[in-house]
């Protein structure tokens, strides 16, 4: 596959892009820091066996004016486009966000408004080519209103809602939209947060997401156990949710 990847420099994006490179997918990286993109591109070139060069271009989820040029460059370099993967996103602890509304605004913009705008640009390009795959990382935090993630969770709830709608709207046109809902995964994003039971690692998540991409599954919980955890949390009555701390 010819894949544009936004967020391959760290965490789950790094693990997933490595898996893709190792199996021979052609990648083009987008992100906000040139030096990190360059390092990641070199790493992926080595992992792909050194045959293909991996291109990159600056693209900042805080600045939608960067999206068009980045996607133009990606399509031109790849000479095509089969899939767009978005793992880029921001997290903030609820107590920090409540004290810092400008930071709250940044996180809501990056995770919701601007990720959706990036998806709209990507969607148009994929549809012009007859379809493809749009795989975007949302979160289990968007499945239910919960005390510790009221703000971050709201941004992901909106994103999940959009991704589901997009899949309903364009599946028949050949566009497969995949909403990834990670549970707690140990990455830079969760550094300093006490891991709950069932905390996962990036690599098994990457394998599970790759399988979902290959199957065209519209939604995937990763690690898998979070699907069972969220099935219970989704059905807890409100009076229970009000009492408990999660
Ligand atoms: N870890 C978890 O427990 C967890 C749980 C549920 C959902 N998620 C979601 O899963 C996705 C990946 O999370 P992760 O844990 O792998 O995070 P991570 O290790 O912090 O990596 C986040 C990635 O997003 C990129 N990014 C951040 N802001 C950006 C911006 N303005 N423009 C472009 N790229 C930007 C980062 O690029 P830089 O290299 O430039 O920083 C990095 O590549 C995120 O959407 C996150 O919300 C994570």
In tens, the pLDDT along 223-236 reads 999 999 999 999 99
Ligand 1 geometric centre to CA of 236 (Å) = 29
User: Given this model, what pLDDT does residue 242 score?
Assistant: 94
Ligand 1 touching residue 143 (CB < 6 A): no
Distance (Å, whole) CA 246 – CA 241: 7
Ligand 1 and 203: CB distance under 6 A: no
pLDDT at 116: 98
Domain span including residue 98: 2-243
Question: Is 197 a residue whose pLDDT tops 90?
Answer: no
pTM, to two decimals: 0.98
Residue 246 confidence (pLDDT) above 90: no
- What pLDDT is stored for residue 217 in this prediction? 98
Reported as a pLDDT band with limits 50, 70 and 90, residue 245 is confident
Does any ligand 1 atom lie closer than 6 A to the CB of residue 152?
A: no
**Residue 30: which residues within 8 A CB-CB, separation 6 or more?**
4, 5, 6, 37, 56, 57, 58, 59, 70, 71, 74
pLDDT computed for residue 185 by the predictor: 97
The Å distance, Cα 190 to ligand 1 centre, comes to: 10
Domain count of the fold of the chain:
1
Ligand 1 pocket check: which of 19, 58, 87 to mutate, most ligand atoms within 8 Å of Cβ? Answer: 87
3-state SS, residue 128: helix
Reported as a single tens digit per residue, the pLDDT across 59-99 is: 999 999 999 999 999 999 999 999 999 999 999 999 999 99
Look up residue 246 and give its two tokens: 């999660």
Asked if residue 110 has its Cβ within 6 Å of ligand 1, the reply is yes
pLDDT in tens, 32-41: 999 999 999 9
Residue 8 alpha carbon to ligand 1 centre in Å: 9
Mind listing the pLDDT tens digit for each residue in 98-132?
A: 999 999 999 999 999 999 999 999 999 999 999 99
Specify whether the CB–CB gap between 159 and 87 falls below 8 A.
no
Q: Tell me if 27 sits within 8 A of 5, measured CB to CB.
A: yes
Atom of ligand 1 nearest to the CA of 182: 6
**CATH, residue 112:** 3.40.50.720
Q: Any long-range contacts for 52-57 (C-beta under 8 Å, 24+ apart)?
A: 52/26, 54/21, 54/27, 54/28, 54/29, 55/28, 55/29, 56/28, 56/29, 56/30, 56/31, 57/28, 57/29, 57/30
Peptide bond into 223 cis (omega under 30): yes
- Ligand 1: centre distance to CA 10 (Å): 7
Query: Which of 89, 110, 193 to mutate to test ligand 1, by most ligand atoms within 8 A of the CB atom?
Result: 89
pLDDT digits (tens, 9 = 90+) for 123-180: 999 999 999 999 999 999 999 999 999 999 999 999 999 999 999 999 999 999 999 9
* Residue 41: per-residue pLDDT: 98
How far is the centre of ligand 1, averaged over its atoms, from the C-alpha of 188 (Å)? Answer: 8
pLDDT at 52: 83
Q: 51: pLDDT confidence band, cut at 50, 70 and 90?
A: confident
Q: In angstroms, what is the span from residue 205 Cα to ligand 1's centroid?
A: 14
């Amino acid at each position: 596959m010819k894949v544009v990847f936004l967020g391959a420099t760290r965490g789950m994006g790094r693990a997933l892009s490595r898996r893709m490179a190792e199996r021979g997918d052609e990648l083009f990286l987008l992100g906000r820091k040139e030096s990190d993109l360059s390092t990641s591109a070199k790493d992926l070139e080595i992992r792909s066996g050194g045959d293909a060069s991996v291109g990159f271009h600056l693209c900042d989820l805080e600045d939608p004016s960067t999206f068009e040029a980045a996607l133009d460059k990606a399509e031109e370099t790849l000479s095509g486009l089969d899939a767009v993967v978005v793992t880029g996103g921001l997290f903030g602890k609820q107590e920090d966000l409540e004290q810092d509304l400008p930071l709250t605004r940044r996180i809501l913009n990056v995770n919701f408004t601007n990720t959706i705008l990036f998806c709209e640009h990507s969607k148009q390009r994929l549809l012009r080519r007859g379809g493809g795959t749009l795989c975007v990382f949302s979160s289990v935090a968007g499945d239910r209103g919960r005390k510790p993630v009221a703000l971050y969770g709201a941004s992901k709830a909106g994103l999940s809602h959009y991704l589901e709608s997009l899949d309903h709207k364009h599946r028949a046109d050949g566009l497969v939209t995949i909403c990834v809902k990670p549970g707690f995964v140990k990455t830079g994003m969760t550094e300093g947060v006490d891991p709950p039971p069932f905390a996962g690692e990036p690599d098994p998540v990457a394998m599970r997401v790759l399988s979902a991409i290959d199957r065209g599954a519209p939604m995937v919980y990763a690690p898998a156990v979070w699907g069972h955890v969220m099935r219970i949390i989704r059905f807890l009555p409100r009076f229970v949710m009000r009492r408990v701390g999660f």
